[in-house]
Amino acid sequence: MLELVKTADGSNTIYNPQVGENYHSINGALQESRHVFLNAGLQYFLDNSPAKQVAVLEVGFGTGLNFLLTADFCTVNKIELNYTGIEAYPLTDELMGSTGYDKYTTAETWASLLNNYQSALMKATVLNPYCKLQIAGCELMNFTSDERFDVIYFDAFAAAHQPEMWNEEAIGHTVSFLKTGGIFVTYAITGNLKRMLKGLGLQIQKIPGAAGKREMLRAVKI
């Protein structure tokens, strides 16, 4: 049974006993989401692009924390966000609402996610004038889309617990949805992952990791 767990920065995550891992870092769910995905991913892309619209693909939508932070940022900065999440095992409405993430986002963004969560699992849903969300309730390898994305948040469970998400087939499938010049970010960094991404035409950047991790990986499709 999934259970709520408090992390080191006071924010909650969810522990999945079947996988044997938490959805976010036990060293701080909020700081990990901000550091790895919002700052090193989305903001890095926007700092290097004049775009007023951005398409984000998240592998592992989970609790929705990465989405909430991204939606808030884009709404405040009047950037049109088209956000697609992949989640093979979507959480229940009750569990989503129990995370306490309303503390870290505006009341409007929080309410729009909770009120439209089920709709977004079926089709692309407009949450506000700057934000559209769709959640693909399928396994990664079954995900298809004609769209190509500016930023990919790769937030799967660790390879030790979910190795099938980190093999060459899975990474290649994920990167196939990335635009040229697009950004791939993940909390993990291994020699094998770096080699795979280089082989797929991405330029690797090792940057400081979130709390508890010395480094993380950012890659640019060239």
pLDDT tens, residue by residue, 164-209: 999 999 999 999 999 999 999 999 999 999 999 999 999 999 999 9
* Strands 131-136 vs 178-186: parallel, antiparallel or unpaired: unpaired
DSSP label at 141?
G
CATH of the domain at 105: 3.40.50.150
- Amino acid 14: pLDDT: 97
Q: What is the pLDDT of residues 140-166, one digit of tens each?
A: 999 999 999 999 999 999 999 999 999
Per-residue pLDDT of 41-96, as tens digits, reads 999 999 998 889 999 999 999 999 999 999 999 999 999 999 999 999 999 999 99
DSSP state of 8: T
Asked whether the beta carbons of 24 and 63 are under 8 A apart, the reply is yes
Average pLDDT over residues 24-53: 96
Q: How many domains does the chain have?
A: 1
**pTM of the entire predicted model:** 0.98
Give the pair of three-digit tokens for residue 8: 């080191």
Distance CA 3, CA 9 (A): 18
- Can you give the pLDDT at residue 44? 97
Q: How far apart are CA 30 and CA 16, in angstroms?
A: 18
Other C-beta atoms lying within 10 Å of the C-beta of residue 215: 11
Q: Provide the residue range defining the domain that includes 29.
A: 3-221
Average pLDDT over residues 9-33: 96
pLDDT > 90 in the chain, percent: 97
Q: Are 61 and 86 a contacting pair, CB within 8 Å?
A: yes
